[in-house]
A and B are shown apart, each in its own frame.
Chain A
Amino acid sequence: MKRVEVRLNLEVVAPLLDLMKEASDALKSRLAVRAHVPGSDADFVNNWKQELLEGQTDDIQVLLALFDVDFFATGVIALDTENGEAVLRACSALRLRIREAHLKPLGDESLESGEVPLDEMPEEQRKAFAAYVFLATLQELIVEHLDPTEPEG
Chain B
Amino acid sequence: MSGTKAQQLWRVVVLNDPVNLMSYVVMLFKLLFGFDEKTARRHMLEVHERGRSVIWIGNREQAEAHAYSLQRWHMKTVLEPDETR
B17: Cβ under 8 A from any A Cβ: yes
In angstroms, how far is the closest chain B Cβ from the Cβ of A55? 5
Q: Using A36-B78, A148-B31 as known contacts, say yes or no to A136 and B71 having CB atoms under 8 A apart.
A: no
Interface size on A, residues (CB 8 A): 28
Q: Once bound together, how far apart are the Cα atoms of A33 and B71, in whole Å?
A: 8
Among the listed stretches A2-10, A16-24, A70-78, A86-94, which one makes contact with chain B, having 4 or more residues with CB under 8 Å of it? Answer: A86-94
B3 at the binding interface (Cβ < 8 Å): no
Q: How far is the CA of A38 from the CA of B77 in the complex (A)?
A: 10
Within 8 A of A (CB), among B45-85: 60, 63-64, 67-68, 71-79
**Hey, which chain B residues are within 8 Å of A99, CB to CB?**
18-19
A residues neighboring B (CB under 8 Å): 31-33, 35-36, 38, 48, 51-52, 55, 88-89, 92-93, 95-96, 99, 108, 111-112, 136, 139-140, 143-144, 147-149
